[in-house]
């Protein structure tokens, strides 16, 4: 299956096995799930959420500091 992922202002198509979770997509991009907010099809999601063909995942980097 293929999902669309937006990470660091780049749109990428990621190929995953059917029934994969957002966590697998994050790993495929070498991103860190601890430093991003995850949106699945426009709604906040958890990294354990299952994906289906054509889903849109957005990984929004958390900016922190003093």
**Which residue in 20, 14, 21, 27 sits closest to 45, CA to CA?**
21
| pLDDT tens-place values along the chain, 66 residues long | 999 999 999 999 999 999 999 999 999 999 988 999 999 999 999 999 999 999 999 999 988 776
**What domains are defined for the chain?**
2-61 (3.10.20.30)
Q: Which residues of 28-39 are buried (b: 16+ CB within 10 A; e: fewer)?
A: ebebeeeebebb
Neighbours of 40 (CB within 10 A): 19
Question: What pTM did the predictor assign?
Answer: 0.87
């Amino acid at each position: 299956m293929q999902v669309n992922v937006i990470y660091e202002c780049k749109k990428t198509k990621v190929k995953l096995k059917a029934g994969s979770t957002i966590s697998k997509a994050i790993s495929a991009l070498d991103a860190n799930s601890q430093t991003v907010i995850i949106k699945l099809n426009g709604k906040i999601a958890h990294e354990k959420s299952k994906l289906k063909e054509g889903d849109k995942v957005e990984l929004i980097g958390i900016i922190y500091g003093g």
